[in-house]
Amino acid sequence: MESGNEGANFKKETVSKLMAMYFKDKKTKMSGDAVLAMRELLRVFVTEAAVRAARQAQSENSGLVDIDHFEKILPQLMLDF
Amino acid sequence: EEEQFAYKQRLKAAVHYTVGCLTSEVAEDVGLSFSKRTIAAIAETTFRQCEQFARDLEMFARHAKRSTVNTDDVKLVARRSQSLYNFISEKCDQLTANNQ
């Protein structure tokens, strides 16, 4: 169930605390599965950000992914999520 | 107030740490390296994006007259992209299957 199929991921605790922090109504809770699904979504979000920035750096023949590459891909990333 | 700030900083640090791990996996895959500033920027963006995600989840749950967010709400958060929606739906189905 922890689905540690590969590599890094957010801790369940981190995800649920993050969400709880932003809930307007303090009575709002999350089911365990919802936390696990949300952590997958966050992992995809971060990986997409990194891969897109890397692709941008590659297209500019840069070996280092820097903040300007990330800035260029940010608007579309925000539209996609 | 100060306690709240410290709590937020700790969460931010946890996000930053995981973003660092995830970007280094990507870096290895593509054979590029990420500057520290970039990793920090991705972490900050993720942290802020969580606010949008949380608000949406809460509203979707309330829309269905629930106070507990479930996997259906998470699927709705992923609605904007078809491939993301499919991926998350599949994950949710796996999770439900594991519970039975």
In terms of C-beta density within 10 A (0-12 exposed, 13-18 middle, 19 or more buried), how is residue A62 classed? Answer: middle
Q: What is the ipTM of this complex?
A: 0.94
pTM of structure: 0.93
Q: What is the pLDDT of residue B100?
A: 76
Residues in A touching B91 (Cβ below 8 Å): 36-37, 40
CA torsion sign for B13, B19, B20, B21 is positive
Q: How many C-alpha atoms does A79 have within 13 Å on its Cβ side?
A: 5
Q: From CA A38, how far away is CA B29, in angstroms rounded?
A: 24
Using CB atoms and an 8 Å cut-off, which of residues 57-76 of chain A contact chain B? 57-58, 62-67, 69-71, 74
Gap between the Cα atoms of B51 and B42, Å rounded = 15
- Per-residue model confidence as pLDDT tens digits over B58-93: 999 999 999 999 999 999 999 988 999 999 999 999
Question: In chain B, where do the E strands start and end?
Answer: 33-34, 68-69
- All residues of chain A having their beta carbon less than 8 Å from the beta carbon of residue B8 are 21
3-state secondary structure of A64: strand
Please tell me the total number of residues recorded for chain B in this structure: 100
Identify the segments of chain A with pLDDT beneath 50: 1-4
